[in-house]
Amino acid sequence: MELLTVNNVWMMICTGLVFLMHLGFGLLEIGLTRQKNTINILFKNVFILTTGLLLYYLVGFNLMYPPGETFNGVLGFGGFGLEAPLDAAGSLDVAYNEGYTYWTDFLFQGMFAATAATIVSGAVAERMKLVPFMIFTVIYVGLIYPIAGSWFWGGGFLKTLETPFYDFAGSTLVHSVGGWAALVAVILLGPRIGKFVDGKAQAIPGHSIPLATAGVILLWFGWFGFNGGSVLSADPGLTSITLVNTCLAAAAGGFIAFIVSTVMYKNYDLTMYLNGILGGLVGITAGADVMSPIESIMIGSIAGAIIVFGISLVDKVKVDDPVGAIAVHLICGIWGTLAVGIFGSLAGGAQFVSQLVGVASYAAICIPSAFIILFIMKVAGGIRVSEKEEFEGLDSYEHGMSAYPDFRLNEH
């Protein structure tokens, strides 16, 4: 019982850290976009968190972790709501898991669920209608994410491959799931007005780099819970090396992104530095528990370089991603997942093939599902605001308020 208590307290702390990541996402997104859309972005992030938890309670948890008798490895459902396992005396069964209780399990996983839609929020910022975004969030977080998650974390077919697929904390299961949807969404939406002029990408500066920086530091801090909690216990050795690997990959990702972007663009670009840190974090997330420190630095370093070239590639193909979500979460998510087959204790040809199968499987569910949801709404009523509304800003149009109002006293 004492060990369970220690493990459970650690898991609850990690749950709080992952919860804090949603503030980090919000600050990053508003910092890298224009002032006139701040309320809109924050509203979406609050909506994602509140509805995400309610949906995960209603259907998501039991879709992601269905009982074995209802699960064919692809789709299963354990019923609506939560039904805690009870012992013979009718009390909460503490033998549910040696690392944490049933309730902690639900809340920790619920925090992860909302993250996938938050990734999409930043990519579609400044030009997507609010109601279609909310509908998309309800369907994608409520149904698509937990079904996809069950394929590995719920004991589905990717877990039962001859050489099982491996994704420790969600490079693919969380970040690529959000990244694929973000890619589909921005293609269907089209670029912001003024982003591409005569075929060339134009910078649209964010209104507060200090807020973006604070957001990234909060996200890094939250990753202590994201990866540290994915140990699923307070095991001192495994938790410690996981956090060391996480931090080294983040540091390497930021530093290499800074070096590469400086060489390429001849300026010290803080936004590249920040996204490099996030790229390193996403890259190490799939294998943070099976890598050595030097391998983690290598994975993070490659992720940092990927960020610079990935953001450049996104611009070259005329896809508008205001916050770099596609490079950070999709491309680095794929890299981190494949890295499990190249580095660490699981490395090998068979493992690499299984990692490829996993990446392809998630692309196969995320791309069509995101496209169908968004395309139907685009045809039915549109998913993009008008040109006039985009110029005025979504805060004024969608919310009738400003994030930074004029506080001068009215003169009489």
Q: What is the pLDDT of residues 119-140, one digit of tens each?
A: 999 999 999 999 999 999 999 9
Please report which helix (H) or strand (E) contains residue 200, including its range. strand 200-201
Question: Tell me, what amino acid is at 17?
Answer: L
Backbone angles phi, psi at 155, to 5 degrees: 85, 25
Hey, what are 241's tokens? Answer: 């090396």
pLDDT value at 389 more than 70:
yes
| Distance between start and end Cα atoms, the chain | 69
Read off the DSSP letter of residue 393: -
Hey, what are 84's tokens? Answer: 């805690």
| pLDDT the model gives residue 412 | 43
Question: Tell me, what amino acid is at 378?
Answer: K
| pLDDT the model gives residue 84 | 73
Backbone angles phi, psi at 321, to 5 degrees: -125, 95
Query: C-alpha distances in angstroms, 373 versus 10, 182, 339, 370, 386?
Result: 38, 13, 31, 5, 21
| pLDDT the model gives residue 101 | 85
How far, in Å, CA of 328 to CA of 250, rounded? 12
Render pLDDT for 182-203 as a digit per residue (tens, 0 to 9). Answer: 999 999 999 999 999 988 999 9
| pLDDT the model gives residue 366 | 97
| pLDDT the model gives residue 92 | 59
How far, in Å, CA of 270 to CA of 257, rounded? 10
Single pTM value for the model: 0.94
Q: Provide CB contacts within 8 A for 15, sequence distance 6+.
A: 104, 107, 108, 111, 225, 229
Backbone angles phi, psi at 185, to 5 degrees: -65, -45
Which percentage of the chain shows pLDDT scores above 90?
87
How far, in Å, CA of 311 to CA of 322, rounded? 10
Tell me the pLDDT band of 116, cut-offs 50, 70 and 90. confident
Q: With contact defined as beta carbons under 8 Å apart, do 339 and 286 qualify? A: yes
| Burial track 263-272 (b if 16+ CB lie within 10 A, e otherwise) | eeeeeebebb
pLDDT value at 95 more than 90:
no
pLDDT value at 114 more than 90:
no
Angle of the 209-228 helix axis to the 236-265 helix axis, nearest 10: 150
Count of Cβ atoms closer than 10 Å to residue 203 Cβ: 8
Render pLDDT for 348-367 as a digit per residue (tens, 0 to 9). Answer: 999 999 999 999 999 999 99
pLDDT value at 156 more than 60:
yes
| pLDDT the model gives residue 411 | 46
How far, in Å, CA of 48 to CA of 185, rounded? 16
pLDDT value at 94 more than 70:
no
| pLDDT the model gives residue 90 | 59
- Average pLDDT over the chain reads 93
pLDDT value at 99 more than 90:
no
Q: With contact defined as beta carbons under 8 Å apart, do 322 and 122 qualify? A: yes
Distance of CA 412 to the CA centre of its chain: 50
Question: What's the CA angle centered on 110, arms 104 and 112, to 5 degrees?
Answer: 115
| pLDDT the model gives residue 83 | 82
Q: Which of 223, 251, 226, 245 is nearest to 290 (CA)?
A: 245
Which residue(s) pair with 92 in the sheet?
86
Count of Cβ atoms closer than 10 Å to residue 406 Cβ: 5
pLDDT value at 292 more than 80:
yes
pLDDT value at 118 more than 70:
yes
Q: With contact defined as beta carbons under 8 Å apart, do 331 and 325 qualify? A: no
Which percentage of the chain shows pLDDT scores above 70?
95
Render pLDDT for 240-290 as a digit per residue (tens, 0 to 9). Answer: 999 999 999 999 999 999 999 999 999 999 999 999 999 999 999 999 999
How far, in Å, CA of 130 to CA of 37, rounded? 12
Q: In order of start, what are the domains of the chain with their CATH numbers?
A: 2-73+99-399 (1.10.3430.10)
Query: C-alpha distances in angstroms, 37 versus 135, 276, 335, 382?
Result: 20, 25, 32, 19
Would you say how long the chain is, in residues?
Answer: 412
How far, in Å, CA of 304 to CA of 279, rounded? 6
pLDDT value at 229 more than 90:
yes
